[in-house]
Amino acid sequence: MSGIAGHHGPSASEALLATMNAAQAHRGPDGEGIVVDGPAGLAQRAGEPFTSADGRFVVVVDGEVDAQGVAEAFARDGRAAFAALVGGFAVAIWDRDQQRLTLARDPFGIAPLHVCRVPASAGSDAVAETLLFASEIGPILECGLVEKQPNERVIHRYLTSGAVDDGPETFFEGIERLQPGEVLEADADGIRRSMFSRLREELVELAREQRPYDRSVAAELRDRLAEAVRRRVPSGAPVGTDLTDGLASAVVAGLVAETASSVGAQPNSFDVTFPEEGASASAADSAATGGAAVHTVSPTASDLKADLRDFVRTHEEPLPSAEAYVEYQLMRDAAAKGVRVLFGAAGADEELGDPTPQAGRVDQLRSRVTSAVRRRKDVPETSLLGRDFRGRFAGETASAVTTDLRQRLVAELFETTLPARLRATDRNAARFGVAARAPYLDRDVVRLVFGLADDALTDDGATQRVLRDAAEGLVPEATRRRQDASGPAAPQAEWFMRLKNHFYSIFLSEPFANRPYVDQTEVLHAFEGWIKGTNTTDAETFWRLVNLELWLEEFFDEGPVVDKATVQAAPKADTDANAGKQLDLTTELGETVRRYPLRTELFAKGDDLDAKVLARIDEFFETLPAAGPEHDAATQGRWYLFISEKIIAITQGRSYFIWDIKVGRPARVLSKYVTRTPAGIGLGSPFTMQLAIQEAGLPRVLYAAAGGAVGKAIGRKGLFYELVGNQIAAIDGPTEYSAYPSNVSAKLAPKDPDEVAARLSAGIRDRVPSAYKDTFAGTIVMDANDIGRNVLGSDVPDDGTRFEAMFADNPLGQGSEQTPMALVFIQDT
């Protein structure tokens, strides 16, 4: 494995090349080299660029080919040499005599290569455009010549159909991938792109030959696969096989073990077990690996959550599903075991046909139909998109899927499935310093299979017939004859259900809400319905939404990404203000107050509110003397306990996970007419509106809604909340900044807040030191946030507006700060 980069333009720059090379150091951390000559510069990881003996050609390579061999073949045959190269490759050749840069990528696109044309105006002293190229996208972004912009057409196709990697465009505007079998030439006459390979056309022609199937064909396939493996096994180095592709993996494992023993290499195999399923998910077993050491990884939902951001960063572009995370974990384990070359079965399904038995497909279809009948409810992907964004691409349609087997397999090889898989494998392997090898993508193997009649692929319902026959004597009979010859499928739906809190917090976040690509409300509705089983939206739809959001945050948003629902603020003393807040405030009534926010443990349903609150107040007064005379409460005037309504409601069991709230049609309709705050406060959510209807009754809510509509017409805001009442207005929805579980819950106002306030006040008077007992004036139940504040209850006869003024800047913090109550002292003047 290596990484290549470079540029062609008015003048080469070693500094630019060094920056690009450093951005993909993981593709070859053990060395690097740079060559600059006139308008061209070439960089390579894992070694120096190769220069031919006569000095004419400078070559950098990534993949399975040798730089010297590439230089000699190119010197002899020109671009025709690329069609004869064996294995995956991405090469760049600088011809010093012709002053021409040539880039090429192997016919299957195993090795990646990206290009970007930078207009002359983008360079400080440029007089012509600059061409940038690199194995990964990162080096192009890091060079400083390219303005990062999302490719919105690609994003639209991804969100509506899951399409990725099916053409030259990437998710970054202006950055493209060289297509499989494509060559690019850049010189003084400009930049030209064309195909050097006609492998795709050749496979279509071979498919017409329909060579009759017999057992000799199976023997020939086995010989060609064995030769493909032999060419790719390094001498004397630990090698491994990924067993997760079922029968195809087992065959490779057996061949790798045979070859490794002859060249002194130590074979290893890597399997996967999903704890949710309780057993190995692969079609292989230890006997199928020729005695190789078998290692097992067990990815879980918790693992995915922990690795999610690194996983997104590693792949540079969104993926159609989370399946690639299994390989990510497997590559990490292989690297930890010292394996540097890992064999896989990429391409097997695209050549030999889907190994899922026909009966299994019927069962899947029946299950989907039954599910659809039960739910009678479908959520089109387009309904989840932002209205303007959806309208801009209304004419886009997905490519039709052909029913012709061979045409479908050719499309899968070059467009619909294999390119995305190869990209995922390359990034997973490069992330952990492993070189991936795909013997099924040896051209001799592919040509043989595509020339066979259809009965070589399926016979009497059995799949991959020729491979099953080729595997005889190489893998155990139980493995060879398994009806389900496919590999494991990651339990994505189970993972996402376990991660529903985390996914919901992403969909609830302010960045997600502000994206032009999605309708946050519709996404939340669909996700909630999926959790409850009331719609047929599939898990991969939500994966695409999450993956896109995390990708945008990683590559386009400024500043560090913070998970507001889980991050903990730095511990603070009771006599310190929360970050960005202040202790003291002079109200509009002329009173000067000092507010001490008290950090607490999280409150939960069933907690003894009084015991936890009173114990925390005890702690405050025990530590107060050490805080210094400026915090001597005994020398100050009256004081109060201000407590958030949220923790009272939570302990009373009046907080509900949003997926436990059964939303009716009136709540969905009415919530659309209430302003939805960016922080989930109020009744602009169908969940909070449903709670309001349950608490106050539909007539009262309708009355307030009608009044609110009139208020809007005459320019008076907030009339809905005035009419519906504070107890109902205090209902809160999930907020991204709240600590779990409040970030995925909706809360009613507390029950009997006056009684709660009186009870807490009595407890305080019974236990506080005598110096503070006489000046204690009571308890205030406050609904406070950064938008407004309302007194919901108290045992003090004062007008509530006075206490609301004391919290004009909301000194509390119920997210990472965890300070849901404060002791407020009136300072003597």
Number of domains in the chain: 4
Whether 106 and 20 share a structural domain: yes
Q: Give the C-alpha separation, 117 to 101, whole Å.
A: 14
The DSSP element (H or E) to which 152 belongs, if any, is helix 152-161
Q: Within a domain: residue 575?
A: no
Greater confidence (300 vs 706) lies with 300
Q: What is the pLDDT of residues 112-169, one digit of tens each?
A: 999 999 988 655 554 578 999 999 999 999 999 999 999 999 999 999 999 999 999 9
Domain contains 510: no
What is the band of 570 on the pLDDT scale with cuts at 50, 70, 90? confident
Tell me the pLDDT tens digit for each residue of 227-285. 999 999 988 788 999 999 989 999 999 999 998 878 777 789 999 999 765 544 454 45
- Of the CA atoms within 13 Å of residue 727, those in its CB half-sphere come to 14
Q: Is 102's pLDDT higher than 90? A: yes
Structure tokens at 115: 């290009």
pLDDT (tens digit, 9 = 90+) per residue, 782-792?
998 766 788 99
Per-residue pLDDT, 819: 92
Whether 9 and 151 map to the same domain: the answer is yes
pLDDT at 265: 74
d(CA 703, CA 728): 13
The position carrying tokens 């993981």 is: 26
Do 207 and 280 share a structural domain?
yes
Using pLDDT thresholds of 50, 70 and 90, give the confidence band for residue 358: very low
Q: Do 697 and 674 belong together in one domain?
A: yes
The answer on pLDDT for 289 being more than 70 is no
Closest listed residue to residue 726, CA positions, set 634, 639, 684, 789: 789
Over residues 85-95, the mean pLDDT reads: 97
Rounded to a whole number of angstroms, the distance between the first and last alpha carbons of the chain is: 75
Supply the mean pLDDT for the chain.
88
**Residue 28 maps to which CATH number?**
3.60.20.10
- Residue 603 domain flag: yes
Does 250 lie in the same domain as 187? no
The pLDDT of residue 284 is: 46
Confidence of residue 179 (pLDDT cuts 50, 70, 90): very high
164 and 15 within one domain: yes
**449, 222 contact by CB (below 8 A):** no
Tens of pLDDT along 655-678? Answer: 999 888 888 889 888 887 776 665
* Domain assignment present for 383: no
168-170-176-180 Cα dihedral, nearest 10 degrees: -40
- Whether 803 is covered by a domain: the verdict is yes
Among the residue ranges 313-317, 454-458, 626-630, the one predicted with the least confidence is 626-630
Length of the chain, in residues: 829
Which 8-state DSSP code applies to residue 83?
A: G
Based on the domain organization, do 303 and 423 belong to the same domain?
Answer: yes
- pLDDT level of residue 815 (50, 70, 90 thresholds): confident
pLDDT per residue as tens digits for the range 445-455: 999 999 999 88
Check pLDDT > 60 for residue 680: no
Tell me which residue of 376, 789, 755 sits closest to 587, measured CA to CA: 789
Number of Cβ atoms within 10 Å of the Cβ of 397: 9
Q: Does residue 542 sit within a domain? A: no
pTM of the model: 0.87
Q: What is the pLDDT of residue 816?
A: 77
Measured distance CA(88)–CA(135) in Å, rounded:
13
CB 110 within 8 A of CB 422: yes
The last residue of a domain, from among 197, 216, 240:
197
What is the per-residue pLDDT for 706? 87
Residue with tokens 């050719």: 410
Q: What is the CATH number of the domain that holds 796?
A: 3.30.1330.100
Residue 507 lies in a domain: no
Whether the pLDDT of residue 174 is over 80: the answer is yes
Q: Is the pLDDT of residue 11 over 70?
A: yes
Stronger pLDDT, 548 or 207, i.e. the higher one: 548
Q: Which residue has the higher pLDDT, 222 or 684?
A: 222
Q: Supply the DSSP string of 201-241, one letter for each residue.
A: HHHHHHHTT-BPP-HHHHHHHHHHHHHHHHHHPPTTS-EEE
User: How do 267-274 and 239-242 pair as beta strands?
Assistant: parallel
**Band of the pLDDT at 827, cuts 50, 70, 90?**
confident
Find the CATH number of the domain harbouring 227: 3.40.50.620
Q: Which residue shows structure tokens 């114990």? A: 615
Residue 713 covered by a domain: yes
Range of the domain at 711: 655-747
- Distance CA(504)–CA(513), nearest Å, equals 12
Q: What CA–CA distance (Å, rounded) separates 91 from 81?
A: 12
Q: Which helix (H) or strand (E) holds 757?
A: helix 753-767
CA distances from 746 to 332, 531, 604, 790 (A): 40, 16, 14, 18
Do 714 and 739 have their domain in common? yes
Same domain, 294 and 423: yes
Give pLDDT, residue 566: 59
Clarify whether residues 82 and 122 are in a common domain.
yes
Strand partners, 597: 822
Q: Choose the final residue of a domain: 692, 715, 747.
A: 747
Q: What is the pLDDT of residues 497-556, one digit of tens each?
A: 999 989 998 998 889 989 999 999 889 889 988 998 888 889 999 999 999 999 999 999
Residues 6+ apart with CB under 8 A from 467: 221, 247, 248, 251, 348, 352
Residues 53 and 170 in one domain: yes
**Same domain as 358, residue 222:** yes
Judge contact between 197 and 181, C-beta under 8 A.
yes
CB 33 within 8 A of CB 17: no
Q: Which of 719, 747, 775 is at the close of a domain?
A: 747
